[in-house]
Amino acid sequence: MDDKNKKQSRIAIEDLHVISATEAKNKFGDLLHRVCYEKTPVLIEKGGRPMAVVVDYTEYLKLKKLD
């Protein structure tokens, strides 16, 4: 991995709480609480494949600054 990609990788996949897309839909309020108040990013999978990561808004802004 080159230096540019190292800078942008602030959250390691191993650090993410993983849930299925169905669970994210069924427990969206819990997902928002985990992300916003516990500051825990969540990886959403569909069919066992990673589809999206939900992060706190302030974390998103920090990541956006790295662009």
Q: What is the pLDDT of residues 11-39, one digit of tens each?
A: 667 778 999 999 999 999 999 999 999 99
Give the domain CATH number at 56.
3.40.1620.10
SS3 10: coil
Q: How many domains does the chain have?
A: 1
Under the banding of pLDDT at 50, 70 and 90, the label for residue 59 is very high
Please state the pTM of the whole predicted model.
0.76
Residue 39: give the domain boundaries: 3-65
Closest listed residue to residue 53, CA positions, set 38, 31, 29:
31
Closest CA to 24 of 56, 39, 46: 46
- Residue from 42, 40, 44, 41 nearest 21 by CA: 44
Do 25 and 51 touch, CB atoms closer than 8 A? no
| 3-state SS assignment for residue 27 | coil
